[in-house]
Structure 1
Amino acid sequence: MLPYYFSGIPFRAHQVGRKLPWLLGRGDVRQLIKGVYVDTRVPDSPELRAEALSLVVPPEGIIYGDAAAWLHGIDSTALGPEPLIHPRWTFLPRPTVEIEGLLVTTPAATAIELAQHLPRPFALSSLDALLHSQVVTHDELQAAAPAYFATDSTSQAAVLLRLADGRAESPGESWLRLRIFDAGFPRPELQITVDRYRLDLGYPDRPIDGRFLGLEYDSDAWHSSDHQQVRDESRRTDLAKLGWHSIPVRRPDLWGSYPALELTIGAFLCQEPRLPRRW
């Protein structure tokens, strides 16, 4: 059956009036961006995102910020703690490209502006996501950077551009890498192949007590059930036999206030972490 609310076309709240809370409560519609909704059966796509933004962005408005990154294909989890995108636009000059008839800041401009203005963890995860999706390259970021800061700048954006890595496959991996960087530990290698396994990041060239150190971000979505936890434990046992100590990292480990993660990593690397934590 085809979607039935406006034939699957995104719509504004005023178009359904008092029915909106009822439709949301039934799970018949979902909010795409602030103030715009669509039938839950309509799959996400670049066209759908552009249609949603076209309902709130005025003609000739240039979309920027998290809305620009979202239109370039980045999931909202990489952009901030709130999953809802707030459309932002300007009429001031910006480097732009056209997507589905909409003016949007270029991937490079979008990346650098996010690196300047988002909180540090989300600034890095958005940079990593844009690089991972290959909508922008390191060379393009370096070419665009002088318009925003000096070559020797120590600003947040400049530092994070040097740290950004498109090999990161999830926001959690980006946040974990930032914690390692902030603690003053050596820069880890990413996506390490060990036999039939792959570790998110680690130190394949720094054996401690005969074992290497690997770290893996275990998201709630893929590592919470009893079956998933048994599988993870078996994986860690196999990695230990292959000479690797694997540290599982969950979201509370990254966002909690106690520096247990830094202390654990420091113990294996025989290095005192730089404390206190920055975030």
Structure 2
Amino acid sequence: MPKAPRRPPQLRGRIFRGSVAVSRGLLTRNDLRSSAWRPLFRDVYADAQLRVTHRHRCTAAARWLLPSGAAIAGRSAAVLLGVTGVPADEPIDVLVHHRRLVGGGQPAAGQRRGPAVGLRVHHGDLAPEDVIDQAGVPVTSAERTCWDLARWCDVVEAVVVIDALLAGRVTEIPTLRDYALARAGQRGWRALLRAVDLADPGAGSPQESRTRVRLVLAGLPRPETQWVVTADGRFVARLDLAWPQFKVAVEYDGLWHNDADQFHRDRRRLNQLLGGEWIVLHLTARRLREDFPGFLAEVRAALHRRGHRSRA
């Protein structure tokens, strides 16, 4: 039988520097190559039995790779501020001052060092007030995070994260608008204003955010989020996106529809809406990805049928 990999108790369930573990005699270099350990960054390893999240990787990068004055930023900062859904293996967004290095230490004379593998490094000015401490990790503030997202991402993906930060009450639309206006003339301030104007704290999921923003960018009137329908004072349904004046709604069919009971309950309540003369259009992940123009045409036709007239 093959020999089981060494798993010292001091390292179980932990993230650690490989060189430190070797210097202390806990592991050898060959041990680090075994299936017991997972490399995260250069010389940074995790117990393979640990479910490593994006937050874990952010913390490890901040502890061992970031130079002084740098901060976790962008989508990674949003994770540390409470946003979920960012894949564990997505590169860590890092913001550093110009001419600083990432990866630890200064290069020797005549040598050049690139960014550490697993990091997405951005360079720019970083004011002290734009950095907060999250359990010992330097993270860009919610407002700076939104500004960076508006500069680094397309508007749809920026709004997805801004929606989540608003829903988590980490920041507010007036605060973000003031932040952008205070930086008028700097690169990205208009992009942040645009993203804020499209944002909505009522979004129930990233896919709902993507759907809403793409519909609005296509010229449709802005829908209400999480619209509650009642009949005779009784709750009937909560709709993902709705144009109540036209009684047209969009429901995003997410992964939870794998739950047959939930699917049944959802369809029953939507039948009540159809009986109440609502038009409810369903959007799946596949259609959002592969046939959004076709779905857009259906929504446009439904709104037109109910009396909406697009502006010339």
Larger displacement relative to structure 2 (247-256 or 184-193) = 247-256
- 3-state DSSP of counterpart to 1:185: coil
Q: By how many angstroms is 1:37 displaced?
A: 4.1
Partners of 2:40 and 2:271 lie apart in 1 by: 43
User: Can you list the C-alpha shifts for 1:73-105, whole angstroms capped at 9, x where unaligned?
Assistant: 21244xxx9962424131343321111122221
Match of 1:252 among 283, 286, 309: 286
User: Aligned AA for 1:197?
Assistant: A
Structure-2 separation of matches of 1:178 and 1:66: 18
- Structure 1 residue runs without a partner (length 5+): 207-211, 275-279
- For the 8 Å contact 1:63–1:89, the answer to whether it is kept is yes
Question: Does 2:156 match 1:145?
Answer: no
Aligned counterpart for 1:267 among listed residues 282, 292, 301? 301
Structure 1 length normalisation: TM-score? 0.76
2:162 is the alignment partner of 1:116? no
Shift of 1:155: 4.3
Please list, as runs of the form range in 1=range in 2, the aligned pairs for 1:90-109 lying within 5 A after superposition: 90-91=96-97, 92-94=125-127, 95-109=130-144
Of 260-269 and 48-57, more deviation after overlay is shown by: 48-57
Contact 1:50 1:100 in 2 (8 A): no
How many residue pairs are counted as aligned between the two chains? 254
**SS in structure 1 of the partner of residue 244 of structure 2:** strand
Distance of 1:83 and 1:76 partners within structure 2 = 12
Q: Which residue does 1:6 correspond to in 2?
A: 11
**Which residue does 1:197 correspond to in 2?**
237
Q: Does structure 1 conserve the Cα–Cα contact (< 8 Å) formed by 2:54 and 2:88?
A: no
Q: Is the Cα–Cα contact under 8 Å of residues 63 and 105 in structure 1 kept in the other structure?
A: yes
Task: Pick closer, same or farther for the CA change 1:108–1:263 going to 2, 3 Å.
Answer: same
- Give the CA deviation at 1:56: 2.9
SS in 2 for 1:60: coil
Question: Alpha-carbon deviation of 1:8?
Answer: 2.5
1:188: which partner in 2?
223
CA distance in 2, matches of 1:5, 1:216: 49
TM-superposition CA deviations, 1:213-261 (whole Å, max 9, x none): 1111111x21245555444433321221233222111112222255111
For residues 255-277 of structure 1, the C-alpha deviation after alignment (integer angstroms, 9 at most, x for no partner) is 22551111100111116889xxx
Deviation of 1:11 after TM superposition, in Å, equals 3.7
CA distance in 2, matches of 1:196, 1:47: 42
| Distance of 1:163 and 1:100 partners within structure 2 | 32
Higher mean C-alpha displacement, 56-65 vs 247-256: 56-65
Name the CA distance, whole Å, in 2 between partners of 1:38 and 1:155.
44
Q: Secondary structure of the residue that 2:281 maps to in structure 1?
A: strand
* Cα offsets for 1:12-34 (capped at 9, x unmatched): 67766212xx358xxxx7979xx
Task: Give the equivalent residue in structure 2 for 1:241.
Answer: 275
Deviation at residue 55 of structure 1 after TM alignment: 3.3
SS in structure 1 at match of 2:228: strand
* Aligned residue identity for 2:15: P
Cα root mean square deviation, aligned: 3.5
Sequence identity percentage: 26
Aligned to 2:92: 86
**Unaligned 5+ runs, structure 2:** 1-8, 22-30, 98-124, 230-234
Displacement after TM superposition at 1:173 (Å): 0.9
**Residues 131 and 155 (structure 1), Cα distance of their counterparts in 2 relative to 1, 3 Å cut:** same
Bigger CA radius of gyration: 2
Question: Is the contact made by 1:216 and 1:248 (CA closer than 8 Å) also made in structure 2?
Answer: yes
Output one character per residue of 1:36-65: Cα deviation in whole Å (capped at 9) or x when no partner: 645655696978853563233234322222
1:160 & 1:40 partners in 2: Cα distance? 40
Q: What is the deviation of 1:72?
A: 1.2
SS at the partner of 2:32? coil
Determine if the alignment matches structure 1 residue 178 to structure 2 residue 213: yes
Residue 11 of structure 2 aligns with an amino acid whose one-letter code is: F
Distance 2:278 2:244 in 1: 9
